[in-house]
Each structure stands twice: as C-alpha cells, then as structure tokens.
Amino acid sequence: MLNVHCLVSVLVLGVCVACLTGCGDGHEDNGATASLTWDSVDHPTQIRYTVHYGRQSSGLPGSCEYENSVDVASPSATITGLEYETPYYFVVSAYSEDGGRSSCSDEVLKVTPGSPLNEDEIRIAPGSGHNEGQRPRQELRLGGD
C-alpha cells in the first residue's frame, strides 16, 4: 500500500481538468461534461482509479469525502450530467487488486461553462419594429444546427 501512496503523490501534480459542454442532438440537455486525465500509477498489480467529485471541497488534503465518485480502469475519466456554471472539485485515488488504496490527490477546482444556446432559447420575432411599407425582419435563431 505504501508503494501505491507514494506513486499517487506523483499523480497529484499530473491531474488535468478540462470542462466542455455536453453533447446531444439538440433536443436533450445532458448537462456539462468534465474530462479528466492524470499520470498512471506504476504498481506490480493491476491498478484502478476512483474519481471523487462534488460541488463542495472536502476541506482536508488527501480526503476523498465528496458527493459523488466513479471507478475507472484507465488514468482518464469523463464525468457527465454536471450542472452548468457551477464550481466542481475533483480528486483521484488509486487502488490495487490486492486491496491497497491511496489517499486522494490534491484537489482541482473547475467551474463548468454556461449552458449552450438552444435554437428555441433566443428568437427575434418577424415583423417586430418594422414600419408600413418596409419588409418585415427575418426570424433569427442562435445556437443549434
């Protein structure tokens, strides 16, 4: 277990977080998405990782106490269904098949972006503000394909 913990300290410095807006067909909104990558842990047994995350900091270095967690096999994860324009805290821990588990990495804070525009969200109605004898304005849609 000590070997896993020491190597996770290297992982701490390698955590990268990039948040992107969620993808979809334009009719459903799955929220914001966070893509995380980190340095893998070198250990003689198979290593898996747990990404712990939430809207509040655990407040303690090395703590894994967050609202949510997800287990992954590789040193990357995509977290979906996050709220837009919301700060999220992320940490990663490693565990081996022989039962050893590390403390969590340093915390990374990321604010998710705002909601993407939907074609139904912003419209300028035709004919608004035109004078008699002038051609009505065209409807303008922003966002969506």
33-66: pLDDT as tens digits:
999 999 998 888 889 999 999 999 999 999 999 9
CATH 2.60.40.10 placement within the chain: 2-114
Tens-place pLDDT, residues 89-113: 999 999 998 888 999 999 999 999 9
State residue 116's pLDDT score: 75
Tens-place pLDDT, residues 107-142: 999 999 988 765 444 444 444 444 455 544 444 444
**Which one, of 95, 91, 93, 94, lies nearest residue 106 by Cα?**
91
Structure tokens at 124: 């300028």
Fold of 2-114: Immunoglobulin-like (2.60.40)
State residue 67's pLDDT score: 96
State residue 135's pLDDT score: 46
- Asked if the model's pLDDT at residue 8 lies above 50, the reply is no
Q: Is-contact 7 94, C-beta < 8 A?
A: yes
State residue 96's pLDDT score: 92
Cα angle 42-53-101, degrees, rounded to a multiple of 5: 35
CA 50 from chain center: how many Å?
14
Residue 73 — very low, low, confident or very high, per pLDDT cuts 50/70/90? very high
Q: Residue 26 and residue 111: Cα distance in Å, rounded?
A: 23
**Which one, of 67, 70, 34, 31, lies nearest residue 50 by Cα?**
70
Q: Residue 73 and residue 59: Cα distance in Å, rounded?
A: 27
